[in-house]
Structure 1
Amino acid sequence: MSELEEAVKFIKSIERKHSGKSTYEIANILRGYTRKAYTTRLWNTATGYDQEYISGEFEGKLNPNNLVVSGEVTDFGHFIAALSDQINQPGIKWSDLNGWTGDYSSWSGDIGSAIVVFRSQYENIRIQTLEEGLNRFARDSDYAADIAAYVVGSLINSRRIGSISQAIIQYDYIPYLNHVRTFIKKRFGTIIKGNSLQRPAILEAQISRSVANLIRFSNIPELWESVQDYLQSESELEFSSLVQPSRSDLLKGSLHFLTHIVNKGGLNSLRFKPYQIPAIPWLGTFNYQVSV
């Protein structure tokens, strides 16, 4: 039995145990089997569900960092946590909570974490460059988890599939390349002609805007409990001041994500002029081009 089959088998057992609960509730219960960082007050607030970390025999049962899903190495614990913020609450078509936190608890949060930790210059976190931070906090396996959470969440929210376990099984049958394309089409409204992304500057601006908004929340101490857990630091993270999102950092972060999208989505290379201010595109673009 593969690692994924074992994980799905465990998820099925939780679904049977909580057969009277909604997929939204079950997703959040599953979050309790990932890691402590995903059961903080911030995560409970974002998902709208108070879930404690579950210790004991099945502690960390859904926390393999490098599990292959849809042919792509995926941080499965990160996937489950992000999924819990993608599934709509019962009776709500698009949750008031996960409508705006879904990005922040996945790809936007990964990029934003790298920028905040790098710019905060916290003495116990040795990150010399933003690129190093991005490669540490926003790995391909993290982005794969984020995209999986979005696509699987969409399947469940559409009611085409009634359980998380079945949605994961279906997701695994389809090549990751297809999922990447589904993600950018549905989440950003991006048009793909052949293997070419259309109007990449707009897509980059959308990514940067989300990350910028996430960074503006970086003075919330609980936001970085997951960073502390990831670094296995016993010291409390204390950021002395709010990190302001610079256009240079946002561009590096969005291009890092776009590199994953282009490479894993089998898309043609990109070359475009980015907008000077992502939130105000009518101010125009820079006079230089960037490449992915």
Structure 2
Amino acid sequence: MLCLIWAQYFFGNSMTDFSSVLQFIRSFEQSHPDVSVYEITNRLRGYTKPSYTTKAWSIVTGFEQPFIEAKLDQELLFAGELTDFGHFIAALSDQIDQPGLQWSDFTRWTGDYTSWAGDIGSAIELFRSKPGNLKSLREALDRFASDSDHSANIAAWTVSETINKNKQIRLSDAIEQYHARPYSEHVKTFIQRRFNGIFENQTLTNPAKLEAEIRNTTFAYLELSQNAGALKQMMKSFTQKLRSTPDRDLLSADLLQGSLHFMSHLIRKGNLTPLNFKPYQQPQAPWLGTVNYEVSA
């Protein structure tokens, strides 16, 4: 409740409560009665922020949408968790199936890159490419892969799963269904279905496997990113050989810190037991075994 009061104070008269945002989406749907959920969501991307309406977003979603206004660029309580709602809409637009077979169906795997992996990777990019602007990678992760970003990412993954399984459901109804359940339940479902996480009571029993998947996917994002020029040489060293080099060790440490930052969000927000475990030496080569030290999440 205090988060909502703070948000209302900070944003003034803008749409910061869930009911107002949901009503806007319902009205938008009513004004476009013959439009698919895929198109509705991508049109709503025009009400987030200019950075979500670039050519890159047109390519990955298969839908060109110009920026209109920032009506949905808000932080609000969504399923009980403070969430960047504009980020949610943008991430969701890349994860909903298009009607029929479209080019973006072949780029569906970008869904991770336009959500959690992209957030982690972008934080690493910004920290390494602009030294001095950020004091630490932790600061970069807290700013560019924040809790409200990750709650948006998990909401996008969950809502897209609902929509892709039920082609008749409206976006507003899928959003309302998500909002009706506590965020901690969504986090646990996300861990189980996206990462094949295994629980024993409230303890994640295969954390090293989950961490390796996060690290691998974030690295894949960095390989594809056009903004990672300062990291290219580091990544070349990383991919060419498994033996230790200064560049490879630095990037490996960044990726591990980024993955643990995300895991910490999942463990905390899922009300799970805090973890200490040994991550794999090389996430792409688990047969090499784990490191000889423990990390926390």
Which TM class, normalised by the smaller chain length?
A: 0.7 to 0.9
- Contact 1:74 1:145 survives alignment (8 Å): yes
1:244 to 234, 239, 249: 234
- Contact 2:16 2:76 survives alignment (8 Å): no
- Contact 1:273 1:288 survives alignment (8 Å): yes
Q: Which residue of 2 aligns with 1:38?
A: 52
Partner Cα distance (2:146, 2:139) in 1: 10
Partner Cα distance (1:243, 1:182) in 2: 37
Secondary structure of the equivalent of 1:95? helix
Question: In the TM superposition, what are the counterparts of 1:97-112 in structure 2 within 5 Å?
Answer: 97-98=107-108, 100-112=109-121
Partner Cα distance (1:240, 1:174) in 2: 42
Deviates more, 1:279-288 or 1:160-169: 160-169
Q: Which structure 2 residue ranges, 5 or more long, are not aligned? A: 1-14, 236-250
Deviates more, 1:245-254 or 1:255-264: 245-254
Does residue 20 of structure 2 align to residue 25 of structure 1? no
The code of the aligned residue for 2:64 comes to D
The code of the aligned residue for 1:87 comes to I
Partner Cα distance (2:158, 2:233) in 1: 31
Structure 1 residues 243 and 262, CA gap change in structure 2 (3 angstroms): farther
- Contact 2:123 2:144 survives alignment (8 Å): yes
Question: In the TM superposition, what are the counterparts of 1:255-270 in structure 2 within 5 Å?
Answer: 255-270=260-275
The code of the aligned residue for 2:267 comes to V
Deviations 1:107-126 (A, max 9, x none): 00110000011111256xx1
The code of the aligned residue for 1:134 comes to L
Structure 1 residues 243 and 196, CA gap change in structure 2 (3 angstroms): farther
Structure 1 residues 41 and 193, CA gap change in structure 2 (3 angstroms): same
- Contact 1:215 1:244 survives alignment (8 Å): no
The code of the aligned residue for 2:208 comes to A
1:179 to 186, 195, 218: 186
Partner Cα distance (1:189, 1:15) in 2: 34
Does residue 281 of structure 2 align to residue 276 of structure 1? yes
Partner Cα distance (2:120, 2:231) in 1: 19
Task: Report which of the two has the higher share of helix.
Answer: 2
Deviations 1:177-228 (A, max 9, x none): 000011111111111121011210000000000000111123x15xx8xxxx
1:159 to 153, 163, 166: 166
- Contact 1:8 1:165 survives alignment (8 Å): yes
Q: Which residue of 2 aligns with 1:72?
A: 81
Secondary structure of the equivalent of 2:106? coil
Q: Which structure 1 residue ranges, 5 or more long, are not aligned? A: 225-238
Secondary structure of the equivalent of 2:177? helix
Structure 1 residues 217 and 201, CA gap change in structure 2 (3 angstroms): same
Q: CA deviation at 1:240?
A: 5.2
Cα RMSD (Å) of the superposition?
1.9
1:197 to 188, 201, 204: 204
Structure 1 residues 193 and 92, CA gap change in structure 2 (3 angstroms): farther
Structure 1 residues 143 and 161, CA gap change in structure 2 (3 angstroms): farther
Deviations 1:230-273 (A, max 9, x none): xxxxxxxxx55636352111110000000000000011111111
- Contact 2:116 2:150 survives alignment (8 Å): yes
- Contact 1:215 1:243 survives alignment (8 Å): no
2:258 to 230, 253, 257: 253
Q: CA deviation at 1:75?
A: 0.3
Deviations 1:69-96 (A, max 9, x none): 0000000000000010111111359932
Partner Cα distance (1:8, 1:267) in 2: 30
- Contact 1:196 1:268 survives alignment (8 Å): yes
Partner Cα distance (1:194, 1:140) in 2: 24
Q: Which residue of 1 aligns with 2:138?
A: 131
Q: Which residue of 1 aligns with 2:238?
A: none
Identity across the alignment (%): 49
2:290 to 264, 285, 291: 285
Q: CA deviation at 1:168?
A: 0.8
TM-score normalised over the length of structure 1: 0.87
